[in-house]
Chains A and B, each alone.
Chain A
Amino acid sequence: MPKKGTKSKKKEVDDVPNQQENKLPDYLELQRTRVVCNDDAPIYVHTFICHSSLMAFHLLIMITFITLALHMFPCEIVCLVCLIYCLAYKLNFTYMHRYFYIKRLIDYITEYNSRLPTLGTFAAMGVDNSVSVEKFCKNFKIEINRLTEDDMEFDMIGIDASIANAFRRILIAEVPTMAIEKVFMVDNTSVIADEVLSHRLGLIPPLDADPRLFDYISVKSSELEWLPEGSQLSMSAPAHSGDKQKTFTSFSQSQKEILEKPLGVKFKDITIARLGPGQAIEFEAHAVKGVGKVHAKWSPVATAWYRMLPEVVILEEIKGAQAEELVKKCPVNVFDIEDLGNGGKRAVVAKPRACTLCRECIRPEESEESTEGASEAQESSAPWKQIELRRVRDHFIFTIESTGSLRPEVLFTEAVKILEEKCERVISELS
């Protein structure tokens, strides 16, 4: 770990130390912002997150030691001590190298001492990798691709995977909807059993009711009534004014006044049960507000998912017959042929967004493995070695498919609100 850090530091010290914003070398910038996909399944993903890694601990120790020691001992002795410290971590330089290197390191550290804590990873190179709230607000973008009544696809640029995942989890499990919970059977002579029928009724996609207008079901203790004359259980149901419903629940006012349009089921063609001649089903069902965490019937989305934006890069030119082959290989037509002047053809990337990362274009052909010497010349210019598949780390393509109770953009807004509420809850617990 120190090795990697010190190598980059060594490079940096040679530059003018007054520069504040430095660019990372290309390979590090690539690792910071892209995920590279190879032909095999990934077993190790490099992540650079802005926290104190082992390198910064070494830096902190060295800084405190050096600033203290420089007051008391001359520079050379401090260098020697640092030399011993580095020896303990088996750095791979010669002694003279280390001496002069450490001398420069001390100058460097005293120069950047004050700026170090705010820069994080890559601090040694002077590159700022932190994501503060102001920066986030400045760089964050949303682009909507498709927005219909039922589903929506949009891009979120500049956000981290942990927050995108939090939204996905909330959309699936914690946005409340209404679904049938209790079914009171009056008559069921069909071949479907009562409980199976009830189960099916519960799974009907959440009703066309705005769950924000409802509260969770709860029995308040104010509803407990004292019965001075003894049990009333055998009494028949008291008549309510004009209501045809039975009295297992009663509402203080008719719900017609709260809702603008009559409650209904959104999809009218779902078969609940099939009846034979002489069979009948009669029941009353009560729908209740709930969340997907408790039972999946309350999940407001058919599903919600995201993927990172794919990036397809052609490293060396692919021409002629190989280009045509490449275009044919890709099942989603990511590549396209560009005609050059003299009748030559070149492959270009036409629709990188459509790439599903099936890795067909970078898979070596099977026939190449069996032939030996003859294909060596071809292998270096093989098309599968010239293409690189990558994913952009902070660009997410979100897709939300709603089941109909709420519009997809409203669903996402609710999910964001729920994350805010969670934060507020923890804050109030802490204070």
Chain B
Amino acid sequence: MEHGSLDDSSSSTFSIMEEDHTLANSVRFVLNQDPRVAFCGYSIPHPAENKVNIRVQTTGDPAKDVLKDALQDLMVMCQHIRGTLDTAVADFRGNKPAEAMDIDLNKK
């Protein structure tokens, strides 16, 4: 749900149901890295209610697009993390039989 003014689409508040700090803090972090964003933050109106308000104010671009881009960026980062983890696990498993002794000494 987007709450904003009709003529100025560069600042609005997005109210998302069934979400909490998990997604909101990550999105806020990615939004902050965007140079188009003048202000962004999130709040949880009441802890008993599963709702989170994300406020985005941009330097001109419509806030909805900026938020969408930030979410896309977050997804790209997640995919990259997954890929890196898979290669790291494969490397670890590949090296393990040879270096079973050395790992404790080196990696500590």
Contact = CB atoms under 8 A, between A and B. Distances in A.
B67 A430 contact: yes
B46 interface: no
A429 interface: yes
Contacts of A160: 29
A136 B83 CA distance: 13
A424 B68 CA distance: 10
A426 B42 CA distance: 15
A351 B108 contact: yes
B64 interface: yes
A118 interface: yes
A162 B108 contact: no
A141 B75 contact: no
A195 interface: no
Contacts of A169: 21-22
Contact of A117 (B59, B68, B71): B59
Given A51-B39, A413-B86, A430-B64, A166 B16 contact: no
Given A147-B89, A162-B25, A409-B85, A423 B74 contact: yes
Name the residue in B19, B88, B108 with the highest tally of chain A Cβ atoms < 10 Å from its Cβ.
Answer: B88
A423 B25 contact: no
A166 B64 contact: no
Contacts of B22: 165-166, 169-170, 174, 419, 422
B32 A51 contact: yes
Contacts of B68: 427, 430-431
A412 B89 CA distance: 12
Nearest to A145: B107
B89 A409 contact: yes
Nearest to B85: A142
Interface stretch (A126-134, A235-243, A263-271, A362-370): A126-134
B72 interface: yes
Contacts, number: 122
Contact of B23 (A142, A156, A423, A429): A423
A103 B102 CA distance: 62
Interface SS of A by simple majority: helix
Q: Assign chain B's interface to a size class.
A: 35 or more
B3 interface: no
Contacts of A174: 22
Interface string B81-100: 11011101101110010000
Interface SS of B by simple majority: helix
Contacts of A52: 37-39
A170 B38 CA distance: 29
A118 B25 contact: no
Interface string B8-27: 00000010100101110111
B33 A131 contact: yes
A169 B23 CA distance: 10
Contacts of B92: 144, 147
Given A51-B32, A132-B33, A430-B67, A166 B39 contact: no
A423 B75 contact: yes
A334 to B, nearest CB: 12
Contacts of B29: 49, 160, 162-163
A429 B2 CA distance: 10
Contacts of A314: none
B47 interface: no
B80 A419 contact: no
A145 B36 CA distance: 39
Contact of B78 (A120, A132, A142, A420): A420
B85 A413 contact: yes
A346 B81 CA distance: 41
A130 B37 CA distance: 12
A295 interface: no
16 contacts: A49-B32, A118-B35, A142-B88, A409-B85, A412-B85, A416-B81, A419-B26, A419-B78, A420-B75, A423-B71, A423-B74, A424-B75, A426-B16, A426-B19, A426-B23, A426-B71
Interface of B: 2, 14, 16, 19, 21-23, 25-29, 32-33, 35-40, 59, 64, 67-68, 71-82, 84-86, 88-89, 91-93, 96, 103, 107-108
- Those 4 A-B pairs whose CB atoms lie nearest each other, nearest first: A162-B25, A162-B29, A142-B88, A144-B92
Given A423-B71, A424-B75, 4 more contacts: A50-B33, A52-B37, A147-B89, A409-B89
